[in-house]
């Protein structure tokens, strides 16, 4: 195996690990910690997810560059495209709406719970499945 596919595989699984740890472990658990108010939890979440999404974009670019250098099988490329698309939707469409809602909560207003959280979680699940599939398909190349 040459360097480019090995880097792509490593980066895919690093990205998957970050999504699993932050989105499916840290995010829901922080609200169960003692003395964490919704405002504190949202404030932490905004910082953490902004950082996660920034790192995800960097990882996606690395994967894109390595897969252009050494094209993967069609199935792996399709799975990775789904992961890239889910990330783009999260950053471009869902997060801005979530930020507007969390701005209200952080300002002390009694805002209703946003359904955007469910959309974001759904996209996280799609992204995680796509990364797992893409990584496994890259390994089988």
**Can you tell me the distance from the alpha carbon of 11 to that of 108, in angstroms, rounded to the nearest whole number?**
40
| The pLDDT of residue 1 | 67
Q: pTM for the full model?
A: 0.94
Q: What is the residue-level pLDDT of the chain in tens, covering all 141 positions?
A: 689 999 999 999 999 999 999 999 999 899 899 999 888 998 999 999 999 999 999 999 999 999 999 999 999 999 999 999 999 999 999 999 999 888 888 888 877 778 899 999 999 999 999 999 999 999 997
> What are the boundaries of each domain within the chain?
3-139
The whole-angstrom separation of Cα 87 and Cα 23 is: 13
Tell the residue number behind the tokens 């894109």, with chain if given: 64
Token pair 């595989």 is found at 9
Q: Are 63 and 80 in contact (CB under 8 A)?
A: yes
Range 76-86 burial, b when 16+ CB lie within 10 A, else e: beebbebbbeb
């Amino acid at each position: 195996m040459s360097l480019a596919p090995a880097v792509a595989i490593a980066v895919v699984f690093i990205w998957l690990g970050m999504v699993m740890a932050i989105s499916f472990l840290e995010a829901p658990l922080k609200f169960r910690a003692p003395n964490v108010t919704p405002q504190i939890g949202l404030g932490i979440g905004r910082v953490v997810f902004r950082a996660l999404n920034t790192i995800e974009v960097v990882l996606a670019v690395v994967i894109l560059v390595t897969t252009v250098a050494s094209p993967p099988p069609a199935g792996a490329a399709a799975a990775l495209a789904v992961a890239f698309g889910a990330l783009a939707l999260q950053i471009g469409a869902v997060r801005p709406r979530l930020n507007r809602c969390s701005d209200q909560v952080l300002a002390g207003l009694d805002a209703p719970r946003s359904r955007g959280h469910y959309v974001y979680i759904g996209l996280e699940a799609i992204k995680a499945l796509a990364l797992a599939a893409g990584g496994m398909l890259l390994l089988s190349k």
